[in-house]
Chain A
Amino acid sequence: MSLELLGITVLWIFLFGYVIVASIDFGAGFFSMYSDISGRKDMIHTIIQRYLSPVWEITNVFLVFFFVGIVGFFPKTAFYYGTALLIPGSISIILLAIRGSYYAFGTYGMKNNRILTFLYGMTGVFIPASLSTVLIISEGGFISVKGKHVKLHLLELLTSPFAWSVVLLAIVSVLFISASFLTWYSSKANDYKAGALLRKYTLAWSLPSVLSALVVVLSMKTHNPEHFENMIQYSWMLILSILFFFIAVFFFYRKKHYGAAFLSVVLQYALAFFAYGTSHYPYLLYPYLTVQAGFTNETMAKSLVIVFILGLLLLVPSFLLVLKLFVFDKNYIQGK
């Protein structure tokens, strides 16, 4: 495997990691707010807080890791995306800041502040929407490049059906992934009331998630036919993805094997995500920037890979410790 392919693969895997952990986080915020408004706050709020409080910072690091990594491996992305994404990127930063401070402010001192809960819940929907702009403009058609000038056509972006279908997919997926994880988590906590409610959310968001994915694929056919054609070649992955979706829904519907069900959801998204990513190759930004053209020099790439391996040796055991203490520890989950 060439170094640049290795680089983008590693980054893509990390981005997927962020998609899953962040989805759980964003969706949880939305459900927390929704249950507050509908007067069922106590049912699921505790369980959500118990999982999220120790891990929200880690979630955030996944994102930082991705954007530092991509600038490191592909410095030209800083030029193209950095210039084009000034507005959408800044909006994401502000939303992330509101969200991050909620954990601190909301957990201490301002526990039942309605405004904070509302902001927290709404960012859970708006952040995935604003972050998905990166994927949208990577398809091309929304920016123009003239020499050293990169311009984002904001109006075209805001009026594009393709863009909105991606946003819709992002939001719906967040809610589906999050609900399925939390259903499993509350079943481990023997919190049947929360589990029952979250299971309902899971099933409610399951169909829209698949339908919106379909809409995205179809609208890609008109927006970026080249990518669409490539994607057809990987349709076996998409079919497998749908299969896992059905397994997950089946388990949730029959109220059993929640752990396997959540795993199926992860596999469903993993397959779709990698089918999308692989067919996007070799473009980082269609049609201006390819993986090869944007790649950093070889010396830097090699040292980055070495650091990456060393870093993982440090991170993986630490991460397993977190899972052991906060996700797989029955006593902790049950609040004992």
Chain B
Amino acid sequence: MFENNMAMYSRYLTELTLAFHIIFATIGVGVPLMIALAHWIGLRKKDPHFLLLARRWSRGFVITVAVGVVTGTAIGLQLSLLWPNFMELAGQVIALPLFMETFAFFFEAIFLGIYLYTWNRFKNPYYHFGLLIPVIIGSSMSAVFITIVNAFMNAPQGFELKNGVITNIQPLVAMFNPATPTKVAHVLSSAYMTSAFVLASIAAFHLLKGSKHVYHKKAFHLTMIAALIFSVTTALVGDLSGKYLGKYQPEKLAAAEWHFETDDKAPLVLFGVLNEEQEVKNALKIPYALSILVGAKPSAEVIGLNEYPEDERPPLYVHYLFDLMVTIGIFLAGLAFLYAALIQWKQKFAYNKWFLRLSVISGGLALIAIEIGWIFAEVGRQPWILRGYMKTIEGATTSAHVDILLAAFGFLYAALGAGSIIILRKMFKTNTAEAELKELGL
């Protein structure tokens, strides 16, 4: 009982750290790309508005990077501190991508430092822009490698486990497991999408407040068009992820869809609630849709949850998470599409108050979808920490005091979160874009 308690607290603490970290990690992956876009357009078109945009974004980015780095260091160490048994096992098979991740992180850290502190130091401005390329490569590749580690936990392969002894290890096979392609693609595209919406929210906020400056309109346009492209990509990859689940991790998809009996012509269950007899009530059922999602034809067989022993099933509440993630994703894609349509045909409605209000909340919604999506992905593979090989409880630490640490880290993250908000607000409130433009003589 005592040990199980610590396993539970270890889960809470890992959840807390990751939930806090991914906000900054997502921004850390996506925003450099957006900065590069603005910087590139600014240089090509010789447009000082876009150059200022890149500069202001990167200033704010420093704050998020700092918090991302410290929370990333925290989760990196906590993996060994809270899950020593898991890391001992996984370390032998999956150390390679973890190691590569630190190289990518190193690469990013070096060039981000240079980029931030060398504005106006190079005679040829393209040299300075060029520094962003390793930053983007570094940040995106570290997302790729760390996601590979996570994919391995979902679809472990590349080793043999006999009586607790690991043999026949193939690091590359472990890295390129069936979960890797869809996971990596989904993480990257959703990070780019979320960052675009977060930056769009800021521009929309200024437009909503009544600023008619072309600077904000340019920012809004760039971010919304980027958001449209990335949300379409995310949706497409999401579909592929569904197919992956159907084939390799059917219990996760079955829990997400409350699909109990193995069946062909399976319907997609939207919303609804589950009563105590495990009957689905008030749900919207789209006939054949789940079969089509999984097997690309209405008659495809979809494995049901009842095929799995009860102690190997994920909790059923993941259905709500899955639905919410997809709903937000579709809503956001629709919003970006609407913007593109409005700007093409009915420009004045693109700055309509209600449309701007929805755009202001889009960044927050995208971040919520990221959180929910990760919780779904992680809780959906419970009770396993290494699917099919190691239960979560077996991986946890046997030390006491995890509960105290949970509280301590809770305080820490609260302080870091509050600090980031205060600083970011202060940075941009005292030094508005308009004031800075005036200073530049524009």
Chain B, Cβ-Cβ closest to A329: B121
- Contact: B412 with A97, CB < 8 Å? yes
Interface bin, chain A: 35 or more
- Contact: B80 with A81, CB < 8 Å? yes
Q: Does B88 sit at the interface, judged by CB under 8 A?
A: yes
Chain A, Cβ-Cβ closest to B101: A68
Show the binding face of B for A, using Cβ within 8 Å.
59, 62-63, 65-67, 69-74, 76-78, 80-85, 87-93, 95-96, 98-103, 105-107, 109-114, 116-118, 121, 134, 166-167, 169-172, 397-399, 401-402, 405, 408-409, 412, 416, 419-420, 422-423, 426-427
Top 4 nearest A-B pairs (CB, nearest first) are A75-B91, A72-B95, A104-B66, A82-B84
- Contact: B84 with A108, CB < 8 Å? no
Chain B residues with CB under 8 Å of A69's CB are 99, 102
Q: Complex formed: what's the CA distance from A322 to B111 in Å?
A: 8
Q: Complex formed: what's the CA distance from A87 to B96 in Å?
A: 27
Chain A residues with CB under 8 Å of B169's CB are 297, 299-300
- Contact: B106 with A315, CB < 8 Å? yes
Q: Complex formed: what's the CA distance from A129 to B101 in Å?
A: 28
Q: Which of A58-66, A213-221, A249-257 contacts B (4 or more CB under 8 A)?
A: A58-66
- Contact: B77 with A67, CB < 8 Å? yes
Evaluate whether A58 and B113 lie within 8 angstroms (CB atoms) in the complex, with A65-B102, A68-B98, A93-B74 already known: yes
Evaluate whether A94 and B67 lie within 8 angstroms (CB atoms) in the complex, with A61-B102, A299-B170 already known: no
What is the distance, in angstroms, from B134's C-beta to the closest C-beta of chain A? 7
11 contacts between A and B (CB under 8 A): A53-B117, A60-B69, A71-B91, A75-B89, A75-B92, A82-B87, A83-B398, A92-B77, A100-B70, A103-B66, A151-B399
What is the distance, in angstroms, from A217's C-beta to the closest C-beta of chain B? 30
**Main SS at interface, chain B:** helix
**Main SS at interface, chain A:** helix
Q: Complex formed: what's the CA distance from A97 to B415 in Å?
A: 11
What is the distance, in angstroms, from A118's C-beta to the closest C-beta of chain B? 15
- Contact: A304 with B70, CB < 8 Å? no
Chain A, Cβ-Cβ closest to B401: A87
What is the distance, in angstroms, from A197's C-beta to the closest C-beta of chain B? 25
Q: Complex formed: what's the CA distance from A86 to B93 in Å?
A: 24
Chain B residues with CB under 8 Å of A325's CB are 114, 117-118, 121
Chain B residues with CB under 8 Å of A158's CB are none
- Contact: B408 with A60, CB < 8 Å? no
What is the distance, in angstroms, from A298's C-beta to the closest C-beta of chain B? 9
Chain B, Cβ-Cβ closest to A55: B113
What is the distance, in angstroms, from B123's C-beta to the closest C-beta of chain A? 13
What is the distance, in angstroms, from B429's C-beta to the closest C-beta of chain A? 10
Q: Does A236 sit at the interface, judged by CB under 8 A?
A: no
Chain B, Cβ-Cβ closest to A88: B81
Q: Which of A20-28, A173-181, A266-274, A306-314 contacts B (4 or more CB under 8 A)?
A: A306-314
- Contact: B74 with A97, CB < 8 Å? yes
- Contact: B116 with A76, CB < 8 Å? no
Chain A residues with CB under 8 Å of B121's CB are 325, 332
- Contact: B69 with A100, CB < 8 Å? yes
Q: Does A321 sit at the interface, judged by CB under 8 A?
A: yes
Within 8 A of B (CB), among A43-63: 53-55, 57-58, 60-61, 63
What is the distance, in angstroms, from B8's C-beta to the closest C-beta of chain A? 15
Q: Complex formed: what's the CA distance from A221 to B91 in Å?
A: 35
What is the distance, in angstroms, from B9's C-beta to the closest C-beta of chain A? 11
Chain A residues with CB under 8 Å of B405's CB are 86-87, 90
